[in-house]
Structure 1
Amino acid sequence: MTARPGRRAASAAALALLMLLQAWSLWRAPAAWYPAEITVSLAAGDSIALGRHELAAAQAERSHVGLRRDAAGAWWLRNLSAGKHLLLQTADGERRMGSAALRARHSFRLGAARFEVETAGADALAFAGAGRHWRYDGAVLYRDGDAQAPCPDAGVAARALALWNRAVPAALTSGRALTFGGNLHCGNRLGLADVTPGAAVLARRDGQWQLSAGNPDGARAALALSADGVDVELRRQEQPLSGVQAIVVGHTRFQLRQQDGQLHLLPSRRVALFSAPEQKLAPALRWQWRQRPLWDGAAQGPLWSALALAALAAALTARRGAAWQWRGAAAAATLVLLAGIAALALQRAGHAPAPACSMALGGAALWLWLALPGRLPLAGAAAVLLLAAGLLAQLELGLGGMESSWLRYYQKSAALLAIGAGLGGLWRLWNLRHPGVAGQRGVEWALAALALAALAALAMQVLWGDETGVFDVQPVELAKLALTALTAHCLALRLGWHSVDRHRASRRARWLRLIAPVLLFLALLGMALVEVDDYSPLILLLVWCTAMAFAYALAARNGRLAVAVAALALGAAGAVACLHGADPARLPLAGGFYADRFLVWLEPARHPHTGQQLLLGARAIGDGGWWGADHFLGLAGLGQNAGSAVLIPAVQDDFAPAFFLNRHGLAGALLLWGLQAAFVVGLLQTARRGHAAGAAARDHRLAWQGRFRYFALCGGAAFVLGHLLLSWGTNLAILPIMGQPMSFLSAGGSHLLLFLCPLLTFCAASALSLEENPSCRSMSSTKS
C-alpha cells in the first residue's frame, strides 16, 4: 500500500480552512472591556459593601465584602455572604475568612455545645465536649478512644477509605474533614442536637488545625472561638488587611495594594467583561478600564520567535536532502515543544498568551503533524481536523462568554496540543532513524514503568486530590493508556499460544502470570473511579472490556465468543431503550445519588434543579436546529456573543457537544460525526493491518509486534468510542449518564496530552512501520 498524497493535500486544505475560521473569529470579535484596577477611597470611620456589581466578579454575591477604615486609617475586611467563603492570601499561605487555628487551651462553642482543646500536636488534636473525649488525626475521628462506625448513608468507597485510614500509618492516610452537626455520631461527623449538619468543619491545613464555619442548608448556628480571654464570632469575624496580599471573592482573585490612604484591588481572573467602558459606581469607587487583548500580550515575544523559527526550519527542509529533512523536522518539533511549554508556564503564572498567539501555536502543532515524514493514515488525517474543529469551538466559547476566564480553555488546549505534538513528533523521528523490532523484554520493562507511574498517580489522587484530579492533572487518563498497553501485551502473548505446545500445564501457569497484572490494575483503576461521584467511568470501562473481548474473539477466530459479546452489546442497547420509555413510578429505585440521576433522565422537567444541565442543554440544542442559532452553520456568529448557551454547567467539558449543536446545528454535527467515525475506522484499519502482518510473519518478534499493535489500537479506539458514545448520549438524553468529556471537542487537557496524543503517535508510527514491512507490502499489492 503506497502513501496517498491526495489525503495529505485534502487534510491540509481543510486544516487551512478551519484555521482561517479561527482567525476570522478573532477579527470579528467585538471589543470587550474589564476593570484592570478598582480603587476604594474611604474616610476614617467610613465603610462600604462590595459585591458582584462593584467588583465585576460574576460568581460573587450581591453583597459579599465589607470594607471599613478605622479612626487610625487601617483597613478592615469582613465577609457579608452567608453562603460563600472569602479567601485571604498572605505570605504564610491561604486561609478562609470565618476560620481560625486551634491550639491547646483554646475553646470553641457551636450552638449550645462547648468544647475545650486539650492538646494540638502535629499528629492529632484532642478536645473534650458533649460529654465525650475526642481525638482527630486529620483522617479519623475517635470517640473515647474508639473510631466511630460508618454513617448509614456511606457508600462502599467511603467505608473502604475509612478502613484504609485506620489500618495504614498516618503518612499514607487520605485526609477527611471532621464536620459538626446533626443528631448522629458516625464516621467523621460529630453529632449535635439542634445543629444543622455541616455547621462547622475541622481539618488540617498547612500543618495547622483549622476550624471553619460551614455552609449548611438549614439554620446556621453561632460559632465562637475563645482564645486568651477574647471571644470571636467566626461568622462575623473582621480581619485587618495589613499583611494580606490578595483576596478571592467568588472565584475572582484581587491583589491588594494600599497607597496614599486608598485601597487598590487588581482583579486577575474570572473578571466580568463589558461591551463599553461605562459603569455606574458609588463615589468611593473608581475603575481603571482596560480592553481585552486578542492580538498582542505581554511576555510572548519568545513564543512568536520560536514559532517563526519552527516555520523557517520546516520551509528549509523542503528543498534539502533526506538528512536535512530529518534535522529540520526535528528542529521544528523541538521548537514547537518548547513554545508549548513556555505558553503553559506563562498561563500558570497569570500571563497567558494572547488568543492570536495561541491560535498560531495550535496551528503550528497541527501543521507539524501533517508535515512529518511518513505515511499519513486515515486516523491521523481525521484527528488533525477534529483537533482543529475542537480548537475552533473552544475559541468560540472563549470569545462568546462575557468573562475573562473563558479563553483559558482555548489557550490551555493549544499549549498542551503543542507539547503533545512536539513530543510525538520527536518520538516518530527517532523511531524513523532507528527502525527495527523492539525487544520484548525492553517493552515489558517500559510497560511496567508506565503501570507503576499510573498507579502512583492514582494513589496521589486518592491521598491528596479529589474527583477533579490532583495537581491540575487527571491521572485516570494515564491509567487508561497504561491499561490499554498492558492488556495489548498480555493478549498478544496469549494469542501466540495457539500454536502446538506440549506443555499444557505450563501454559496455564503462564496465562495466570500474564493476566494477573492486568486484572490487578483494572481492579485498582475501578476502585479509584468509584470515588468519582458519577458512574459514567465504570460504563466507559464496560464498553472498553466489551470491545476488547470482541477484538480477541475475532483475532482468535472464536465465533461463539464473538456472537456472545455482540449479543451482550445489543442487549444492553435494548435495555437502555426500554428504560427510557419506562414509568419512573414502577422502577425499583431506592433513592440516593444514582436513583436521582435516573429520575432526572426520565423526567427532567420534574427535577429543575438537579436536571439543570439536561434542561439547559436541550434548550440550547433546540435553539440550534439544523443550521445553528444564526441559521448559517454558525459562520455568521463566529466571534460573537454566545448567548445563554454558556450558562450550561460544565459547558466546556461534559456539555461541549450541546454548545457545538447550538452554534453549528445538526448539519455541523453530521460533519463532526463523519470525522469521528473516520477516526475510529482509521484506528481499526491500522489495527487490522497490524494483525495481518503479525499473522503472516515468520519471526516470533514480528508476530508479537503485529498482535500488540492490533490490540493496542483496538483498545485505544474502544476508549475513544466510549467517550463519544457517552458524551453524545448525555447531551442528547439517550443515556442516563453524565460526566464524560468528548474527545477532541471538550477542553480536557489531561485527556488530550496523556491519552490522545500518545495514541495518535503510536498509530502513525504503526502505519509507517507496516508500510515498511515487506510481508505487509506484499499482501497489500496482492489484494490490489
Structure 2
Amino acid sequence: MNGTPTLSLLRFALSALFALQLLALLRAPAAWQPAAIAITLAPGQSQPLGRRELAAVQAQADHVTVRRDGAGTWYVAMPDGVRPPVLGRATGENRMGSVAAHGLRSFQVGAVVLRLSEAHGQGIAFLHGARRWDYDGATLRRDGVAQPPCPGAALTARIAAAWNRAVPGALTLARGLTFGGNLHCGNRLGLEDVAAGTAQLARKDGALWLSAAPDAAVAVLADGADLRASSQPLADVRSLAIGASRYGVAVAGATLTLTPQRRVALAGQPAVELPPAVTWDWRQRSLWRGSAAAWLSTSAAALALLLPAALGAAAGQTGRRGNILPPRTPSRLLPRATVGVGPAAMLVLVAGCVSLACQRAGQPPAAACSLLLAAAALFLWLAGARRPGLAGGAALLLLAAGLLAQLELGLGAPDTWWLRHYHKTAALLAVGSGAAMAWRLWAARRAALSQRQVEWLLAALTVPALALLAAQVLWGDETGVFDIQPVELAKLVLAGLTAHCLALRLGWSTDAAMMPGLRARWLRLVAPALLFLALLGCALVQVDDYSPLILLVLWAGAMAFAYALAAGRRGGAALLAGLALAASATVPALQAADPASLPASFYGERFQVWREPARHPHTGQQLLQGGAAVAAGGWFGADGMLGLSTLGRDAGQAMAIPAVQDDFAPSFFLNRHGLLAGLLLWGLQAAVLAGLVGAAVRHARRAAAARDFRQAWAGRLHAFLLCGGAAFLGGHLLLSWGTNLAIVPVMGQPMSFLSAGGSHLLFFLLPLLGIHAATAHSSQE
C-alpha cells in the first residue's frame, strides 16, 4: 500500500465498514428493559422471584424468595438446587450458602461434627475424631503433615501442592478443601456416606469461607444453621447478584426496589406478565443517548482529526503540483500533514480513557458514541502517515471488521451484556492507537535509541510483565488477574528481548568473541530463556489448556528458523522446516486414531471430544454448535445476502455457542456473513502476516548492507522483532481457525482482530502495529 490510489481505496474500505456499523445501528429494533423493579409486600407475605420477575439472565424460574416477617423486616432465601445468589454489603460480598469460618465454634457435614479448636492467621484448626486438621487456604495437614496427592491427580495439581508446601504462606496458591468421599488425600477430607464435594472451605479475600454445594444431599450446618436453606436479612444489603444479573437493593417500608446494574434480559415490547406484587419501571434501550462526558471527549477527538486530514490533502495536492516536494522526496511524515496529529492522538487517547471510566462507573457510552470513537482511532493511523504499509492497511480493515462483528453480537443478543464488548474494544482501540501514534511522533523527532537505552527499556517492561504473571499465579485464574491477561504483555516483551539478543549474537564476529566484557553480555541472553520458562510454567500450572504451549512452540520454531536463515545456516533451516512438516503430518494421524486408545486424562478427553463430539454432547457443544453455525452460513451467510439483510437484527441460534465473543467468534462471523466473507477475512489476515514478514526481510537486507555496526544492529533488531510478532500472531490465527473448523483439538485462543480480547488488543496487537509503523518510517528515510 504505497500509492495514493491505494490509500484512497483503504480510506473508502474503512468508511464502508463503518457505514455498515451505522446501518446496523439504524436497523436495530426497539428493545425495552426494566429500569427498576419494585416488590411490595405486607408483613407475613412472601414472593418467589426468578428470571421472569427480574429479567435475570441464567436464573431459574424460582431462584430466590423475598419475604417480610411480622415485624416488617425483609429477608431473602433460596430454594434447594439453585446457584446461590451473592449479597453485597459494605464489608464485602459473600455468596448465600456460605459463611466465614473464623468465629465458628463447629460445623457439621451430614452426621459428622467438626469442632474448631483455634484460628491462626489466615488458617483454622479443627478436630475430627482423634486427629487434628490444619488448613490455611492452600494445604490441608493431618496432625501437622500434608497428605499425599489423590490418585489420578493432574500434574499441575501436584506441582501446585508441592509449591504450597515449600513457600511461605503469603506466596501460596489458593486451593480449596473439600469434604466427602471415601479417601483422605490431597486437600480432601473423606467422610463416610457423604458424597465428594458436599462442602468446601476456600480462601477468598484473605478469609476462609465454608460453603455447601447447591445439590448437597445431606445437611451442612454452621453452628447449627443450615447453609442450604439459609435466609438472610436485607437491611444492610446493597447489591444482589442472581444468575448473571446484578441489582442494587433499596428497602423503603413495604417496598423493596431492585435496580438493574448488570446484564438483564431485553423485551421486544414494554409488556410482561408479572405477579401482582411486582411492578416494573420500563426504559427503552437507546443506542444514541449515553454519557455526556463520553460524547464530549469523543466529539473533540473526531473534530481534531479534521485538521491533519485537511492539511494532508493540501500537502498532497501541493506535492503533486511540484511546488514544494521534489520528485524523489523520502517517504516520511509530511510536516504540514502532521501539524495536528499529535494533539489529535492525545485527544483520542483521552476519549478512550473517558469511555473506559464511564463503563467502570456503570454508565456506558452510547453505541453511536463508541462507533465514532472507533472510527477516530482507526483514521488516526491514516492521518499520521501517507503509507501505512501492507500489514498496517490490512490490520486496519481487520479491526473494523471485528468491530462490526462485535456490534452485531451486541445488537442481536437478548440481553444488555453483549454490547459491553463493543464499547470496551472501541475504548481500548482508542487508548492504544492514541498512545502508539503519540509515541511514534515523539520517536520521529528524536535520534534512534542506542543499545543501552533499548536494554533499559526492555528491562523496564520485563519487570512488570513478570510481576503480573506472578500475580496471576497467586491470585488470578485462567481468565487473568486484575481484569487483564498478563501473558499478552509477556509475549510482547519476550519477542523484544529475543530480538535484541539475536541481533547482538548475529553481529558478533569471530575476533569479537575475545573482547573483554563480552561474556557479561551472555547474561542478557538468559533473560529471554527465563521469561520463556515463566510463561511456560504459567501455562502449565495456571491454565488447563495446551494451546498456550503450542503457541510458544510455534513462536520458538519460527525464531529459530529466522535466525538460521539470517546466519546463513541452510542446513539448520532445512531441518526446522522438515520438523514443521512432520509435526503438521500428525494432525491427520490423530484424526485417524481410535478415540478409545487415547489416555484417560484431561488432554485425552479433549482429543476424544474433538474426534467424536456427538458422543460428548455436553463438553462437545462448542464444536457441535460452532460447526452447525458455520454450515448454516454457507457461502453467502444465513440470510443469503452476506449478512446485509440481518444487520442489527436478532443473532439467532449462533448466540448459544459458548464463548462466541472470544474463542468462537469466527463461527459467528461465518454464520452471519458466509464463507465468501470468510475468504476475504483470510486474505486480510494473510496480508498482515506477509506485510510483517516482508518488512522483517527488508530490515534484514538493510542490516546486511549497512557499514555502521549501530545501523546493522538496529536493522537486525527490527527484523527479529517483527518476525517474532508475526509468529505469535500467526499462531493465534492458526489455532483459532483450527478450533472453529475442528482441524485441531485446541481450544482457548481468541482470534486476533475479530474476538473481543481486550488485553490481546491493547498489550500485543496495537504495540506490534505501532512498532511496524515506526520501523517502516525509519527504513524509508
In structure 2, C-alpha distance between the alignment counterparts of 1:123 and 1:275, rounded to whole Å: 50
- Following TM superposition, by how much is the alpha carbon of 1:515 offset from its aligned partner in structure 2, in angstroms? 3.2
Matched, 1:541 2:552: yes
Q: Please, which moves more after superposition, 526-535 or 193-202?
A: 193-202
1:335 aligns to 2:347 (yes or no): yes
Q: What letter is aligned with 1:295?
A: W
Residue by residue over 1:84-133, the C-alpha shift from the partner in whole angstroms, topping out at 9 and shown as x without a partner, is: 12100011110111111233561110011111111123332111124311
- Residues 703-782 of structure 1 aligned to structure 2 (within 5 Å): 703-772=712-781
Q: Which residue of 2 aligns with 1:314?
A: 308
In structure 2, what is the equivalent of residue 303 of structure 1? 297
Contact persistence 1:687–1:714 (CA under 8 A): yes
Q: Tell me how far apart the structure 1 counterparts of residues 39 and 300 of structure 2 sit (CA, whole Å).
A: 42
Amino acid at match of 1:404: T
CA RMSD of aligned residues (A): 1.8
The 5-angstrom pairing of residues 634-673 of structure 1 reads 634-673=643-682
1:394 is matched with: 406
The residue that corresponds to 1:289 in the other structure is 282
Residues 102 and 120, structure 1, Cα contact 8 Å, conserved in 2: no
Question: Could you say what secondary structure the match of 2:429 adopts?
Answer: helix
* C-alpha contact 2:302 2:376 (8 A) present in aligned 1: no
Deviation at 1:259, TM superposition (A): 2.2
- Distance in 2 between residues matched to 1:367 and 1:54, nearest whole Å: 45
- Higher mean displacement: 641-650 or 198-207: 198-207
Of 517, 530, 536, 1:526 maps to 536
The aligned residue for residue 778 of structure 1 is none
Specify the alignment match of 1:74 in structure 2: 73
Output one character per residue of 1:631-669: Cα deviation in whole Å (capped at 9) or x when no partner: 001111100000000100000000000000000100000
Whether the 8 Å CA contact 2:309–2:383 is kept in 1: the answer is no
Question: 1:458 maps to what in 2?
Answer: 469
Please tell me whether residue 21 in structure 1 is matched to residue 29 in structure 2.
Answer: no
Which amino acid in the other structure matches residue 533 of structure 2?
A: A
> Contact 2:305–2:383 (CA<8 Å) still a contact in 1?
no
* Distance in 2 of aligned mates of 1:571 and 1:682: 27
Distance in 2 of aligned mates of 1:640 and 1:252: 23
2:582 aligned with 1:571? yes
**2:122–2:206 contact (8 Å) kept in structure 1:** no
SS at match of 1:268: strand
CA distance in 1, matches of 2:515, 2:585: 41
Task: Give the 3 Å change call, closer, same or farther, for CA 606–470 of structure 1 in structure 2.
Answer: same
Question: Which one of 624, 628, 642 corresponds to residue 637 of structure 2?
Answer: 628
Once the two structures are superposed, the pairs formed by residues 668-683 of structure 1 within 5 Å of their partners are: 668-683=677-692
Separation in 1, partners of 2:434, 2:6: 22
Match of 2:260 among 267, 275, 279: 267
Q: Partner of 1:553 in structure 2?
A: 564
Higher mean alpha-carbon deviation, 319-328 vs 423-432, is at: 319-328
Structure 2, unpaired ranges of 5+: 316-323, 325-333
Give, as a single letter, the amino acid of the residue that structure 2 aligns with 1:684: V
Separation (CA, whole Å) in 1 of partners of 2:236 and 2:537: 44
d(CA) in 2 for partners of 1:649 and 1:716?
A: 29
Letter in 1 for 2:231: E
Correspondence for 1:495: 506
> What letter corresponds to residue 90 of structure 2 in structure 1?
A
**Distance in 2 separating the partners of 1:136 and 1:615:** 42
Q: Kindly, what percent of the aligned residue pairs are identical? A: 55
1:223 is the counterpart of 2:234: no
Further displaced range: 316-325 or 160-169: 316-325
**Alignment CA distance shift 1:165-1:620 (3 Å):** same
In structure 2, distance between residues paired with 1:630 and 1:506: 70
Q: What SS does the corresponding residue of 1:236 show, helix, strand or coil?
A: coil
3-state secondary structure, aligned to 2:349: helix
**Shift in Å, 1:574:** 1.1
Once residues 110 and 425 of structure 1 are traced to their aligned partners in structure 2, the CA distance between those partners, rounded to angstroms, is: 60
Conserved 8 A contact 2:291-2:358 = no
For 2:340, what is the secondary structure of its paired residue?
Answer: helix
Matched-pair contact (CA < 8 Å) for 2:302–2:372: no
Map 1:315-464 → 2, pairs under 5 A: 315=309, 317-318=311-312, 325-373=337-385, 375-434=387-446, 436-464=447-475
Contact 1:374 1:768 in 2 (8 A): no
Paired letter, 2:144: G
Instruction: Judge conservation of contact 2:338–2:383 (CA < 8 Å) in 1.
Output: no
Q: Name the amino acid aligned to 1:276.
A: Q
Structure 1 match to 2:235: 242
Letter of the structure 2 residue corresponding to residue 640 of structure 1: R
User: How many residue pairs get matched?
Assistant: 761
SS at match of 1:109: strand
Are 2:176 and 1:177 equivalent residues in the alignment? yes
Residue 375 (structure 1) shift: 3.1
* 1:338-369, Cα deviation, whole Å (9 max, x unpaired): 00011011111111101100000000000001
Residue 81 (structure 1) shift? 4.7
State whether residues 437 and 702 of structure 1, in contact with CA within 8 Å, keep that contact through their aligned partners in structure 2.
Answer: no
CA-to-partner distance for each residue in 1:189-211, whole Å, 9 max, x for gaps?
A: 21212212211111233443321
CA contact (8 A) 2:7 2:386 kept: no
Q: 8 Å contact 2:295–2:369 — kept in the other structure? A: no
2: distance between equivalents of 1:342 and 1:455? 29
Which digits, 9 at most, give the CA deviation of each residue in 1:711-763, with x for residues without a partner? 11010001111011100010001001111000000000000000001000000
Deviation at 1:180, TM superposition (A): 1.3
Cα distance change on mapping 1:575 and 1:506 into 2, 3 Å: farther
State TM-score, norm by structure 1. 0.94
Tell me, in whole angstroms, the C-alpha distance in 2 between the residues paired with 1:314 and 1:351.
32
- In the other structure, the counterpart of 2:321 is none
Q: What secondary structure does 1:77 align onto?
A: strand
Q: Which residue of 2 aligns with 1:191?
A: 190
Matched, 1:257 2:250: yes
- Deviation (angstroms), 1:552: 1.1
Q: Once superposed, which parts of structure 1, at least 4 consecutive aligned residues long, lie more than 6 Å away?
A: 504-508
- Counterpart residue number, 2:494: 483
- The CA distance in 1 between the partners of 2:129 and 2:310, in whole Å, is 79
Displacement of 1:468 in angstroms is: 0.4
Maintained 8 Å contact 1:313/1:331: no
The one-letter code matched in structure 1 to 2:777 is L
Q: Find 1:597's aligned residue among 572, 588, 606.
A: 606
- Tell me if the contact between 2:171 and 2:474 (Cα under 8 Å) persists in the aligned partners: yes
Equivalents in 2 of 1:190, 1:351: separation in Å?
46
Q: 1:501 to 1:181 in 2, by over 3 A?
A: same
- CA drift of 1:554 comes to 1.3
**Equivalents in 1 of 2:385, 2:594: separation in Å?**
58
SS in 1 for 2:126: strand
Specify the code of the residue in structure 1 equivalent to 2:396.
V
Corresponding residue for residue 527 of structure 2: 517
**1:520 aligned counterpart, secondary structure:** helix
SS at match of 1:198: coil
One-letter identity of the residue aligned with 1:69 = R
Which amino acid counterpart does residue 555 of structure 1 have in structure 2?
Answer: A
TM-score, length-normalised on structure 2? 0.95
The residue number in structure 1 matching 2:100 is 101
- Match of 1:405, SS state, is coil
Alpha-carbon offset, residue 40 of structure 1: 0.7
How far apart are residue 323 of structure 1 and its match? 5.6
Alpha-carbon offset, residue 561 of structure 1: 1.0
